[in-house]
Amino acid sequence: MPSPRSSHIAGHRTGGYTLLEVVIAVGILVMLGSGLATLLTQGISIWRRAENRGRVYDQARILLERMSEDLRSAVVLSGSGAGGGAWVRFICDEDYLGRQRLRFVRTISAETSNAILRQGGQYLTITTPAVYDGRNDKWEAGGGDLGAPGGLMEVIYLRDPRASETYLWRGYRSPVGGMGSLFNESTLKDKELEDFSGKIDDVAREIDRKMLSGRLEVEEQDELLKSGEEAREEIEWIMTRFARPLTDGVLYLGFSFWGPTTNTWEEVKALSTPSSKRESGPLFHWDSTRAILDWSGESGEFTFRSRDGSLTDSSDDIFPERVEVTLVLRDDNSESLYLVERITKSTETFKVSKPLSLPDDENDRYILVGDEWMYMKNVNGTRITGGKDGRGWRGTEPGNHLVGSRVDLGVAFRRVVEMPGSRKSRSASERVPAPAKRKEP
C-alpha cells in the first residue's frame, strides 16, 4: 500500500499535470536539447572542415594556374637577340635540403602594356642596367636605369629553405643572363642559406638536449631562441634578394618531366632507349644545356652526357614535352595534430593526438611529421603504422621526432602541363637525366 506522501506526490497536479509527468517531460526536453546541441556542434564542425577544405582547393587552383601559365610560356627556341641563346635554359635540380627547384626562361606576356617594362632600355647608361625583378623597379624605370627586357624573363620556383616554414617562393628577372642571373649558383646563395639553416638546427638540437636533461634555464633558452630567430631573419633577407613568397602552407612541391623515352608517369626507372614492352618512367631532374648538372645513373638508365661547348651551343639543347606538377597543401583541419610519443629513425608505428582515417586514395596516404614525410599503411584510431618502407618519403630522411612535434596531413593536387614545344636529343646516344630515387609503397 503506497504511503500517503508518495500518493500525495503522484497525485499532486500542477496546471493539470502531475508532478511526475512534469519531471518526465523536463527530462525528455533535456535529452532532446542535449542531442540537438551535439548535432549542432557536429554540424558546425563539418561546415568548418568543408570551408577549410574549400580554401585549400581555391589556393591550389590559383597556384597551379600561376605555374601552368609560366610553363606554357617557357621558351625552347632562342631566337631572341636579347640575352643571347646561351641563357635560354630549363633547369630542375635540388637545393641543399634535397628538394626540387625549377628555373627556366619564359616570354613576357603583355610587355607593352606594363608601364614599368615599357620604360626599360629607353636611356643609355654607362653603368650596368638595372633588372626587372620586383625590387625598386618603379624607381629604376623612372630614373632611366632599367635594362631592355627583350621579351624574355627568368623564373624560379622553390620552397622555403627553412625546414620549419612552408612558403612557396617565386622569383623573376629580366633581361635574362648576366652576373645576377638566376641560373648562376652564386645568385641563389646556397652556401649562406645552408650555413644559417644549420645554425637554426643546432639551436633546436641544443634546446631539445637540455630540455630532456632538465638543465635548460630560462635565460639560456631566451638567448638560444634569439640566436635562432636572427638566423631565420638572415635567411629571409637572402631569399628576398631574388624571390618573393607566393603563399604559405605548401608542404611539398614536386616536378616530373616527360623525356624522350618516357611512356608512363609511374615512378619507375627511365630507360636509356625507348621500349614498347617495358615501362619507362618520368625524369626528376632536367638540364636543357646538358652541361650544368652532373648525375650518373645506373646501367640502362637515362643520364646526362656532357658535351664540350654544350653550355654555349643552344643547338643541342633538350626540353621536356610535358611537366607534371605535384602540389601538397596543408589541410587546415590538422592544425591541432601532434605526436604523443617519441619517434626514432627505426620506429614503424606511432601515435598522434587525434584519431585519423586512412584515405581511400593511396596518393593521399602521406603524413608529414616534423620535416619527414611518411607513408601510412594502416591507421587504427590514433595509431599509425608505416612499416620499414614507410619512412623517409618525398626526398626526406628518417629521423628522430620528439613528443609534441607537429603532424600535418596534406591535400595533394596534380596537373600535367603541355610545354609549348619540345626539343629532343639528336641521337639515341645523347641521353637525358636519371630520375631521383623514390620508393614505392
Is residue 363 domain-resident?
yes
- CB of 120 within 8 A of CB of 146? yes
Do 34 and 151 belong to one domain?
no
pLDDT at 54: 80
Do 311 and 432 belong to one domain?
yes
Range of the domain at 403: 332-416
Mean pLDDT of all residues in 347-358: 91
Band (263; pLDDT cuts 50, 70, 90): very high
Domain count, the chain: 5
Mean pLDDT of all residues in 249-256: 95
Q: For residues 394 and 410, what is the distance between their CA atoms, to the nearest angstrom?
A: 13
Is residue 171 domain-resident?
yes
pLDDT of 153 over the 60 cut: yes
Is residue 139 domain-resident?
yes
pLDDT of 44 over the 80 cut: no
Sheet order of strands, 378-380 included: 349-351, 383-385, 378-380
pLDDT at 239: 95
Is residue 37 domain-resident?
yes
Of 138, 157, 185, the last residue of a domain is: 185
Do 407 and 350 belong to one domain?
yes
Do 232 and 112 belong to one domain?
no
How does pLDDT run across 190-210, given as a tens digit for each residue? Answer: 999 999 988 988 888 777 777
Do 145 and 277 belong to one domain?
no
Mean pLDDT of all residues in 150-179: 92
Average pLDDT, the chain: 82
Is residue 245 domain-resident?
no
**111 or 371: which carries more pLDDT confidence?**
371
Is residue 199 domain-resident?
yes
**296 or 285: which carries more pLDDT confidence?**
285
Of 185, 212, 230, the last residue of a domain is: 185
Of 165, 185, 205, the last residue of a domain is: 185
Band (84; pLDDT cuts 50, 70, 90): low
Do 226 and 270 belong to one domain?
no
Mean pLDDT of all residues in 406-415: 90
Do 161 and 200 belong to one domain?
no
Do 174 and 217 belong to one domain?
no
- CB of 274 within 8 A of CB of 261? yes
How does pLDDT run across 213-229, given as a tens digit for each residue? Answer: 777 777 777 888 888 89
- CB of 411 within 8 A of CB of 61? no
Q: Which residues contact 107 (CB under 8 A, 6 or more apart)?
A: 73, 75, 151, 152, 153
- CB of 260 within 8 A of CB of 423? no
Do 405 and 354 belong to one domain?
yes
How does pLDDT run across 292-332, given as a tens digit for each residue? Answer: 887 667 778 887 666 677 777 777 788 999 999 999 998 87
Do 219 and 279 belong to one domain?
no
Tell me the pTM.
Answer: 0.80
Report how far apart the first and last C-alpha atoms of the chain are (Å, whole number).
75
pLDDT of 433 over the 50 cut: no
How does pLDDT run across 4-18, given as a tens digit for each residue? Answer: 544 444 445 545 667
Is residue 119 domain-resident?
yes
What does the buried/exposed string (b/e) look like for 15-34 if buried means 16 or more CB atoms within 10 Å of the residue's CB? eeeeeeeeeeeeeeeeeeee
Is residue 64 domain-resident?
no
Do 172 and 97 belong to one domain?
yes
Do 15 and 141 belong to one domain?
no
